[in-house]
Amino acid sequence: IDLVPVVSKKLKTMDPRIFRTDKMDVRADLFGSLEDRYIYHEKDHILFLELFGVTIDSEDDIRWFAQGIEYVLEPLVAKNGPIDLVVNYDGFDIRKDLEDAFSLVLRELEAKFYKSVQRFAGNSFKRAKLGGQLSIEDWDIEKLFRRFDLDGNDEISMEELREGMMKDFHIHLKTHQVKRIANKYGGEGATSAVKLDRDAFEKVVLEILKDKE
């Protein structure tokens, strides 16, 4: 019996990388570009970068990282000056012998582009809720506002702010920090009874995340 093979019209050419003896270099396939991992707040000129799941395993990976960061930041810094950066390193990994080279690249990027940088890792960037991870989508200020607003009155009290920062970011606001926020948004001598609307809440959260204290 003569058999006629059936070949799908959608048949694609096999990835030529599988025939090479060197690494397939699939990091972009697995993790996407760094453009998919950031949210930029133009009004405040602050960028949130999510590095969960990224592994630096070679010098090529370091170059890929540096080039990706430069590609994202160059036009922003050229337009608005040095930028405030908040980075999630939770779930990020790097080969031990590459740490010095990677640190050097970070220092060069910081000198070239950053006004300030906050690097979070481990518990400092974990959300306590169900042990989940804070993802890039969670930087949505409206979502944060609704989570912080425990009594649903469309205002954030100092106690709700304090509890929310601990729950979502594992950042403990000290008493003098709370007083400083209350004085700024409620007037000199204001007490913890001060309430924040959405605009004030967004400013306060960004200020806290940029604060090196």
pLDDT tens by residue, 65-91: 898 899 899 999 999 999 988 888 877
pLDDT score of 12: 65
| Residue predicted with more confidence, 186 or 47 | 47
Q: pTM for the whole thing? A: 0.54
> What is the identity of the amino acid at 127?
R
**165-197 tens-digit pLDDT:** 888 777 788 888 888 898 888 876 666 688 999
- Whether residue 7 has pLDDT greater than 50: yes
Cα 167 from chain centroid?
17
The DSSP H or E segment spanning 127 is none
| DSSP calls for the chain | --------TT--PPPGGGG-SS----HHHHH--GGGGEEEETTTTEEEEE-TT-EE-SHHHHHHHHHHHHHHHHHHHHHH-SEEEEEE-TT-EE-GGGHHHHHHHHHHHHHHHEEEEEEE-GGGGB--GGGPBPPGGGG-HHHHHHHH-TT-SS-EEHHHHHHHHHHHH-----HHHHHHHHHHHH-TT--TT-EE-HHHHHHHHHHHHH---
pLDDT at 154: 94
Q: Which residue has the higher pLDDT, 160 or 122?
A: 160
